[in-house]
């Protein structure tokens, strides 16, 4: 597959599109995903998809809780049994997020991480937060390999240690973004999930 070029603020639809493809769902109009799920752009952003503009009440891109609801609505509309479940790190019992990540991936899920990209890349606190969703490619020998489906970052493939990932996720109070069949979205160490 030729990588898709996404406009700014589109890391969520880029991740969702990659997950749909990886899980065998052909979504013939990927350019429609940002508008369908409600992505907003800054007034100064390039806006080839004519997306709604961010304002005081509606920040750029999309809030995680809104993304979860809108992606799941979109999956229902296309008669797919796939769903998105966001699992904030703070909601995972005893911070066993690596176990939840491993379990989700072993079930064939596509997993993303909501991170502060600047913190992730700087390996320390950042003056400005840049919330971003990156897809997990692998977890091997204590290294997590991530991929930026949106093309917004300088490095498409990023390999980092779990402690750095944890700090970057907690700094924006995010967690795992898991896409799989609805019947495969309950995990040990998390509260029950329901569609």
Tell me the per-residue pLDDT of 132-168, one tens digit each, with 9 for 90 and over.
Answer: 999 999 999 889 999 999 988 888 999 999 999 999 9
Confidence check: pLDDT of 1 > 60: no
Check whether 54 has a pLDDT greater than 60: yes
- In the chain, where are the structural domains located? 11-184
The Cα 30–Cα 2 span in angstroms is 13
Q: Does residue 2 surpass a pLDDT of 80?
A: no
Q: Which residues pair with 146 in a beta bridge?
A: 136, 158
Per-residue confidence (pLDDT) for residue 154, from 0 to 100? 81
Alpha helices for the chain (secondary structure H): 11-22, 33-37, 64-77, 97-106, 117-122, 162-170
Q: What is the dihedral of CA 97, 85, 120, 57, to 10 degrees?
A: -140
CATH architecture assignment, domain 11-184: Alpha-Beta Complex (3.90)
Model confidence over 56-81: pLDDT tens digits? 999 899 999 999 999 999 999 999 99
Closest by CA to 53, choosing from 34, 29, 74, 67, is 34
CA-CA-CA-CA torsion for 154, 166, 16, 80, nearest 10 degrees?
160
In angstroms, the CA 122 to CA 127 distance is 11
């Amino acid at each position: 597959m030729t990588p898709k070029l996404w406009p700014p603020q589109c890391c969520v639809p880029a991740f969702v599109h990659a997950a749909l493809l990886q899980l065998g769902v052909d979504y013939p109009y990927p350019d429609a995903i940002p508008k369908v799920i409600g992505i907003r752009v800054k007034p100064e952003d390039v806006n080839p998809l004519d997306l709604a503009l961010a304002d005081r009440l509606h920040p750029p891109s999309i809030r995680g809780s809104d993304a979860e609801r809108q992606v799941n609505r979109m999956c229902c509309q296309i008669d797919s049994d796939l769903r998105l479940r966001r699992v904030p790190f703070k909601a995972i019992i005893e911070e066993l997020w690596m176990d939840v990540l491993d379990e989700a991936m072993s079930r064939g899920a596509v997993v993303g991480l909501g991170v502060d990209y600047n913190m992730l890349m700087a390996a320390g606190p950042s003056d400005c937060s840049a919330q971003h969703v990156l897809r997990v490619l692998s977890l091997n020998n204590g290294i997590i390999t991530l991929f930026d489906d949106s093309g917004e970052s300088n490095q498409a493939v990023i390999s980092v240690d779990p402690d750095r990932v944890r700090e970057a996720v907690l700094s924006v109070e995010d967690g795992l973004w898991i896409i799989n069949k609805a019947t495969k979205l309950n995990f040990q160490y998390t509260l029950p999930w329901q569609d």
